[in-house]
Chain A
């Protein structure tokens, strides 16, 4: 689709708002619908749209597959790490009260923010990695 001007122009207009919307869904998930799962998928959808319009190689220049591979694991580590911190601070696993013992809602809010971020990172990275793995294959003859 590299040489078709309508998808190119529409893509250039649409991709930044999609990325912004993904960040909104990620960080506004405490107050409205959404959260890490949805935000990750929307973010990945923006990258997929970019790859469809401008080609896989162009997308791989921006979203480095090597970094994506690291991010796949980093999100889960962030989630489990938040749980381990509360475990080491003497609370139950994933009991975010440990993050701010003076004010439980504040600690819970911080913990939810961290684990949702971990979810978002892993979901976005896995979706992009699966797309790269599928799209990067050459047709067998």
Chain B
């Protein structure tokens, strides 16, 4: 049953991706990107990665759509028509695409018990994290404690992104706002 759902969702995502790339109305493209994010959130849910699905739905479908629409209100709604038959662009896309597919050939199959990720510390997290951390959600234990240093880096990346946007686009508050 889930296989059928997976296939239907993936086909929908491919159709959407092709439709977005052929679309000249940027407003519609932004909305379609939101739907695309929702579809991938559903796929993450089917893969039992609820935390990732959560983030994808909130960031991909929610906030980034709003930011894209905000940017669109500063520019035009229609895409400038690009020169057709750009052979170089096709070549770059084909090379990148085949490199990505080549990269997936070495990856273990989904759910393969012999995958490297299941050989190292995963067993210990599943068996011990409950008593060591006192909380049942293993994802939170790994994210905030076992791999706390990585998460500190991630938060610093978000902090840097925020500071960068504030510095590039100007201060977010002005004197007249406060009155």
Contact = CB atoms under 8 A, between A and B. Distances in A.
Nearest to B60: A41
A133 B63 CA distance: 14
B92 to A, nearest CB: 30
Interface in B5-27: none
Contacts, number: 160
Contact of B55 (A41, A118, A132): A41
A132 B169 CA distance: 10
Contacts of B166: 69, 72, 129, 133
A90 interface: no
A106 B134 contact: yes
A83 B67 contact: no
Interface bin, chain A: 35 or more
6 contacts: A30-B136, A57-B177, A65-B172, A112-B133, A123-B158, A130-B162
B122 interface: no
Interface of A: 25, 29-35, 37-38, 41-42, 44-45, 48, 52, 57, 60, 64-66, 68-69, 72-73, 75-76, 79-80, 83, 93-94, 96, 104-106, 108-109, 111-112, 115-116, 118-119, 122-123, 125-127, 129-137, 139-140
A66 B37 CA distance: 32
A33 B165 contact: no
Contacts of A94: 145, 148-149, 152
A137 B173 CA distance: 11
- Contact residues of B: prevailing secondary structure: helix
Interface bin, chain B: 35 or more
A32 to B, nearest CB: 7
A124 B136 CA distance: 25
Interface string B142-173: 01110011011001101101110110011011
Contact of B74 (A29, A109, A118, A137): A137
Nearest to B144: A112
A93 to B, nearest CB: 7
Nearest to A133: B169
Contacts of B151: 79, 115, 119
A140 B74 contact: yes
A121 to B, nearest CB: 10
Given A32-B137, A112-B144, A115-B148, A44 B55 contact: no
A55 to B, nearest CB: 12
A41 B152 contact: no
Contacts of B161: 126, 130
A134 B71 contact: yes
A35 B143 contact: yes
A56 B132 CA distance: 46
A83 B159 contact: no
